[in-house]
């Protein structure tokens, strides 16, 4: 009897989490296990939620990717966060980012412009500082070079 009660409580907690925002399977299992529920039961409930369409890693990846692009983060950082911190399969996050059709060079340039304006790097040290800033935001070396050189040409 206790098991079916626990399962019902677990389903309710799972619904509550999913109504706030999309969660990856990994996140749900982690959060619910942290609350003292038996891990096999948590996995069983989350699996059932997936089967019923309440939880979807694909939907989570799309939502996560859209949110991070809106925060003007670069592709590498988004992929790393989704796979390492949220447990999403790399193929799913890659697919979600591809659907968004982001111009990463343009986004990198916008981030650069908002941080540094139209000022040019004063020397190599300043150039490196600006490049590190963009790299920490998740942009590639090519995108960074493009963004900084676009302002060198002004």
Please report, in tens digits, the pLDDT of each residue of the chain (154 residues total): 356 788 899 999 999 999 999 999 999 999 999 998 999 999 999 999 999 999 999 999 999 999 999 999 999 999 999 999 999 999 999 999 999 999 999 999 999 999 999 889 999 999 999 999 999 999 999 999 999 988 665 4
The closest of 14, 6, 5 to 55, measured between CA atoms, is 14
The closest of 56, 54, 81 to 67, measured between CA atoms, is 81
Q: Are 52 and 89 in contact (CB under 8 A)?
A: no
The closest of 50, 44, 4, 1 to 23, measured between CA atoms, is 50
The closest of 55, 9, 56, 54 to 35, measured between CA atoms, is 9
The closest of 53, 67, 74, 62 to 134, measured between CA atoms, is 74
How would DSSP label each residue in 86-109?
A: S---HHHHHHHHHHHT--HHHHHH
Does the pTM of the predicted model rise above 0.85?
yes
Confidence (pLDDT) at 118: 86
């Amino acid at each position: 009897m206790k098991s079916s009660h626990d399962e019902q409580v677990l389903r309710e907690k799972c619904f509550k989490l999913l109504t706030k925002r999309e969660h990856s399977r990994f996140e749900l299992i982690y959060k619910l296990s942290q609350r003292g529920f038996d891990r096999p039961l948590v996995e069983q409930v989350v699996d059932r939620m997936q089967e019923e369409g309440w939880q979807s890693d694909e939907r989570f990846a799309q939502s996560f990717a859209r949110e991070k692009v809106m925060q003007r983060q670069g592709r590498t950082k988004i992929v790393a966060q989704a796979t390492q911190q949220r447990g999403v399969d790399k193929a799913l996050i890659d697919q979600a980012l591809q659907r968004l059709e982001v111009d990463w060079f343009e986004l990198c340039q916008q981030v650069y412009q908002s941080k540094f304006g139209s000022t040019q790097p004063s020397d190599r040290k300043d150039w490196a500082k600006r490049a590190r800033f963009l790299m920490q935001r998740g942009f590639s070396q090519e995108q960074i070079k493009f963004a900084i050189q676009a302002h060198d040409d002004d």
